[in-house]
Amino acid sequence: MYGKIKETNWWDIWCLAWGIWLKRNAWVFDKREKREADILYKTMCLVGEFEEANANADMGMQVQYFSSRWKPPAAGLYKLNTDAAFQGQWLGIGGILRNEEGTAVVAFCSKENGKVDVAVGEVIGMRSSLKIAMEAGFRNFILETDNIKLFHHLKKGSISPCSFGNLVRDILMLARSCQSCVFSFVRRSGNIVAHSLAKLSFNFSEYRVWLEEYPTEIQGALCHDIENLVK
């Protein structure tokens, strides 16, 4: 109902006033007391939903201009592509770090037990992959995802009061400890290597890391990205 509203100055005040009104009604009619902390939390959630709805509407207009091919980073930077896959109760995550020549310098995959929604799975994958890349000694990143919600929250530094927001905050904190770190979006067709690693994770009982090499199972996807560079 509020996805097309662009004037946001009044929205947080309105949400807070609405919460106070509900608190008053709960006491007057039901003799039930609502805690101030619950009112503030609900206000934050509504404001966050409103801002995200407007942002997603804008991003929907812009997404057609995003690249559908993987592109190498500038010299001195490393591009980290991440993705998530799902299989029953399992979440598979994958990450691939490449240099300006498209050479894989770190590859990572892991699986976790437990059902989560797509956005949470994506942000778990990026956080885990970024930690691995940093532990390997890298500090200059382009973090690239094919999830528009994750990209928007990272780009804007938007942290919502939920599990997804807490994970976004973790990534932003890690990014601040890097020498340089920017965020990028690519269509799914440009993120096939990371997705292949995420699916490959289901074949292993524990996480796997490859340094300056990669599993043979993703060679075709890597070659596909390199071939696209010369087209």
Let me know whether 33 and 99 are in one domain: no
pLDDT on residue 66:
64
Contact 110/210 with Cβ under 8 angstroms? no
pLDDT number for residue 167: 95
Residue 121 covered by a domain: yes
Identify the domain containing residue 59 by its residue range: 11-65
| Structure tokens, 193 | 């290597």
Maximum pairwise Cα distance, the chain: 71
Q: What pTM does this model have?
A: 0.73
89 shares a domain with 179: yes
Q: Are residues 57 and 89 in the same domain?
A: no
Q: How many domains does the chain have?
A: 2
pLDDT of 56 > 60? The answer is no
Reduce the DSSP state of residue 176 to 3 states and report it.
helix
Do residue 223 and residue 115 come from a single domain? yes
pLDDT surpassing 50 at residue 15? yes
Give the residue-averaged pLDDT of 37-53.
55
Average pLDDT over residues 75-86: 96
**88 and 185 housed in the same domain:** yes
Are residues 168 and 222 located together in one domain of the fold? yes
Is residue 34 within 8 A of residue 26, CB to CB? The reply is yes
Q: Does some domain include residue 5?
A: no
Task: Specify if 153 maps to a domain.
Answer: yes
CA distance 133 to 80: 8
d(CA 72, CA 38): 46
- Give pLDDT tens digits for 150-172: 999 999 888 888 889 999 999 99
Q: In terms of domains, do 21 and 116 share one?
A: no
72 within domain boundaries: no
The CATH number linked to 166 is: 3.30.420.10
pLDDT at 60: 47
Compute the distance between CA of residue 168 and CA of residue 123 in angstroms, rounded to an integer.
Answer: 7
Tell me: do 119 and 196 sit in the same domain.
yes
**Contact assessment for residue 187 and residue 81, using Cβ atoms and an 8 Å cutoff:** no
Do 56 and 150 belong to one domain?
no
